[in-house]
Each structure stands twice: as C-alpha cells, then as structure tokens.
Amino acid sequence: MRCDLTGQRTNIERIASDADNRHCTNLNRHAQSPRCSDAECANLARNLQIRRPFPNDRSIMQALQSGTDTLFLLLGAAMVLAMHAGFAFLELGTVRRENQVNALMKILVDFAVSTLAYFFIGYNIAYGVQFMHSADILAEHNGYALVRFFFLLTFAAAIPAIVSGGIAERSKFNPQLFATCVIVGFIYPLLEGVAWNDRFGIQGWLTHVFGAPFHDFAGSVVVHAFGGWVALPAVLLLGPRHGRYHKDGRIAAHPPSSIPFLALGAWVLAVGWFGFNVMSAQTVDKISGLVAVNSLMAMVGGTLAAWFAGRNDPGFTYNGPLAGLVAVCAGSDLMHPLGALIAGAVAGVLFVQMFTCVQNRWRIDDVLGVWPLHGMCGAWGGIAAGIFGQKAFGGIGGVSIWSQVIGTVGAVALALAGSAAVYGAIKLTVGLRLDREEEFNGADLAIHRISSTPDREMAG
C-alpha cells in the first residue's frame, strides 16, 4: 500500500529512452563508415542533434506520470466510496423494516465523521502527513497526496460501516458516532501505520526474524479483520435484540426484510471491491491483472462454497462472494488464481458455518454476521496470504507464514482491546442501547421520527 514517487520512471519513458539510444548508436556506427561522405556525415550530425531529448522531456514525462497516477487513484477512491452504498443496502435488506431508515442514516453520517477524524488526526498518525498547508502546496503533483488521503479514507471509513451491521436495530445513534471518531481517528491508524508505513519498526523486526514482513496488500486484516473484531465487543456489550432468544431455548427468526436490497448491496460491494483491490497498487506502473483475476476467482469460490454450504439460502449465497473477496485482499498480488479460488471457497464455508454457530449455538446476536464475514474471513485471508503466496503453491513468494500469523493476531488483539475500551466507556457513561420501547417501535421512529414507507403506513 505504500507509495514512493521518487525516482520512478514509466514504461513509456523507458521505451522511448531505449529507442533513442539504439537510433543514436546506429547513426554513429554509420557515420564512422569509410563510405560516409562529408555531406552525409553533416546530415547524420543534424539527425543526432534532433534525436537528443529536449531538456524538459523528463519533466514532461514526470508530469504525465503524476497526472495519470492521480487519476488512477481517484477512480479507485470513487469505486471504494461506492462500496459504502453497498454497505447501506446490504444492511437495509437484512434488518427488519422498522430499522431500514436508521441503516441508511448510520452509514452516511458515520462516513462524514470518519472523514473529519481521519483528515485531522488519523492520517497523520498513520503516515506522519498533515494538510495544514496552503492550497498551492497541496496542489503539487496534481494533488496526488490529497487523492491518496481520499483513497485511504474510504478504507478507514469501512470500519464503522462494518460495525454498523453487527449492532443494528438496538444501538443509540450519537454514541456510535463518538465511537467512530475515536476508532477511525486514533485506534485504526496505529494498525494502518504499522502495516502500511512501517511505523514503530515492527515490520523491520518481522523481516529480521522471519525473513519477510507482514503482508496485507489490500486489507484482509488491516481493514476487514480489524473491523469485524472491533464489532464483536460492541455486539456483546449491547446484548441480543429483545425477543431474539427465549429462556426455554427457542430462537425467534428475524429473516431479511428485503432480499432484493440485500442482493443489490452485495453486488455494489462486489463491483467496488475491484477498485478496493486493484487500485491498492496506488500507481499505474504497479497495476496488476493478477490482482483482478485473483479477486474474481476468490469471489466465485466464495459464492459457490456459500451456496453449497448454505443449501441454496439467498442470504448465505449473496454473502459468499463478499467472504471470498475479504479473504483474498491480503494476498491478491501474490497468489496463483487457483490459490485465490481455494482461499475464497474456504472463506465461503467458514462464513456459513461460523454465522450459524454464532447465532444459534453461542447466541451472539450479530445481525449481519459481520464478525464471521469480516473478522473471521479477514483473519483467514491474512494467513492464506502466507500459505498460497508461497512459491511452493504457485505464488510469487516473499512472504512468511509466521509473519502473517503474528500480524493477524496483533491486529485482532488491538481491535479487541480498543473496542472494549471505547464501547465499555460509552456503556458506563451515556449508554449504548435504545430502551425497550424504542427498540420495539424501531430505530426509524425512535431516532429519526420517520419510517421507510410512511405513506403506505398512514393509508393502512
């Protein structure tokens, strides 16, 4: 994920330079021929002068490279931004009807709070960069530094979007915004800085001890596992929805309110994910078709595995591709496509089995199953990169399974500790949960004073 523009040369520049060198060599060789007349030699000299690069050729190429990289990353930021619409529709389609407006509101306002927290605090913690400069300085290199912030912001804002699905239908609105500010502004950047900017020297230590640093190309662990494990303490501190689990052992079914909206959300997320993964290269010269095809294969593997393990259940089937994509993020630049297919398929089965276990056996009311989907599949993705990224399994290599395990466990530990501290403090002070009557009426009316279908309800 790290980007260093210093000394980079584009393929166009290299090709042009090599062509010039070959041409000049041929002209010099011809000029040294004994059959070359004075007039021909003079003409060759003029050609040599013409073929020499102009003094500003390099600056033109650098400007072109900078502009192309900025546009490339801006397109990636727009694609990942669109994924937040996918998060919103996925939650809208899963929660009960009286909580649909709340789902839409949470995702949007959480994103706005995340933007400010990351701009003023989080990005500086992770990368040591702040934007309190004049606009002419910020606009240098086509504003690449600003666009890079925008792109990485869309990753950071995915953390509260993930948490939102786990605590749906019974959490207070404003306290969750405070938690978003603290997590995106202070806690998540610590992990991001370690993994993608070599903060605190941890990556260097892993390289020294195990021969390779912790590798997470597009955020299986840094974004998804972290978000899923942040959600777990929040879900446990909130407790299950009223009426979900009965003392006699019965479990009240709360099926998705809208399979079409759930499917729409999954499709929007899946399409945006190719920007999430491919554009994590951050510069055009590092783009790789391997990342795109590995993402596709993991998506397909997750879909088919979840469809089979979930026995044709649409909720499981549409979460299957997301499970596969979560798992492939870390090693999408290293794996062979067959390795990505296997990693995605394992994630699909893992999601179905863990979701069923969490809901029915452990009685943890994680509404969208964000801990199995993002937390468990993301952790699996970090480890899978250390397995299928090895040359023995057709991968590119340069990765250590032990570094992957240590990095994944460290991310999980930070997520659990940070989440328990933040949500525990909120519960002890202002409270996390709606009261029983508000929850019964639904978060739409209790918080926003409007339902998703007010005209229809008034007519009824």
HEC sequence for 161-174: HHHHHHCCCCECHH
The pLDDT, as a whole number, for residue 15 is: 41
d(CA 240, CA 171): 11
How far apart are alpha carbons 416 and 234 in whole angstroms? 10
Whether the full predicted model's pTM is greater than 0.95, yes or no, is: no
Q: Which residues, 6+ apart, have CB-to-CB distance to 251 below 8 Å?
A: 244, 245, 359, 360, 363
- What is the DSSP track for 328-369? HTTTTTTS-HHHHHHHHHHHHHHHHHHHHIIIIIS----TT-
The owner of tokens 């990942």 is: 80
Residue 48's alpha-carbon distances to 14, 32, 39, 53, 90, in angstroms, are: 19, 14, 14, 10, 63
| Max Cα–Cα distance, the chain, nearest Å | 106
- The length of the chain, given as a count of residues: 460
pLDDT at residue 212, as a whole number: 98
Q: How many CB atoms lie within 10 A of CB 222?
A: 29
- Rounded CA separation 421/186 (Å): 13
- Identify the three-state secondary structure at position 433: strand
Judged by DSSP in three states, 231 sits in helix
Q: How high is the pLDDT of residue 58?
A: 76
Q: Indicate the DSSP class of residue 96.
A: -
Q: How many CA atoms lie within 13 A of 336 on its CB side?
A: 12
Measured in degrees and rounded to the nearest 5, phi and psi for residue 251 equal: -120, 120
Write down the domain spans for the chain.
11-53, 70-448
Alpha helices in 38-143 (DSSP H): 38-51, 57-94, 100-117, 123-127, 135-138
pLDDT at position 63 is: 81
User: What residues does 433 pair with on adjacent strands?
Assistant: 171
User: Which amino acid, one-letter code, is at 411?
Assistant: A
Handedness of CA 329, 331, 334, 336 (dihedral sign): negative
Distance of CA 121 to the CA centre of its chain: 20
Q: Tens-of-pLDDT digits for all 460 residues of the chain?
A: 444 434 444 443 444 455 455 554 554 554 455 455 666 556 655 555 544 455 567 788 888 888 999 999 999 999 999 999 999 999 999 999 999 999 999 999 999 999 999 999 999 999 999 999 999 999 999 999 999 999 999 999 999 999 999 999 999 999 999 999 999 999 999 999 999 999 999 999 999 999 999 999 999 999 999 999 999 999 999 999 999 999 999 999 999 999 999 999 999 999 999 999 999 999 999 999 999 999 999 999 999 999 999 999 999 999 999 999 999 999 999 999 999 999 999 999 999 999 999 999 999 999 999 999 999 999 999 999 999 999 999 999 999 999 999 999 999 999 999 999 999 999 999 999 999 999 999 999 999 999 998 765 545 4
CA–CA dist 92, 261 (Å, integer): 7
Structure tokens at 310: 């979930």
Percent pLDDT > 90 in the chain is 82
Q: What is the pLDDT of residue 60?
A: 83
Specify the DSSP class assigned to residue 286.
Answer: G
Buried b (16+ CB within 10 A) or exposed e, 258-289: beebbbbbbebbbebbbbbbbbbbbbbeeeee
Q: What is the pLDDT of residues 75-122, one digit of tens each?
A: 999 999 999 999 999 999 999 999 999 999 999 999 999 999 999 999
Q: Which fold has domain 70-448?
A: Ammonium transporter fold (1.10.3430)
Per-residue exposure over 101-132, b if at least 16 CB sit within 10 Å of its own CB, e if not: bbbbbbbebbbebbbebbbebbbbbbbeeeee
Interval 360-375: pLDDT, tens: 999 999 999 999 999 9
pLDDT in tens, 222-241: 999 999 999 999 999 999 99
37 exposed, middle or buried (CB, 10 Å; 0-12, 13-18, 19+)?
exposed
- The alpha-helical segments, DSSP class H, found in 389-435 are 401-429
* Cβ-Cβ contacts under 8 Å for 344 (sequence gap 6 or more): 297, 298, 299, 300, 301, 302, 305, 323, 324, 325, 327, 328
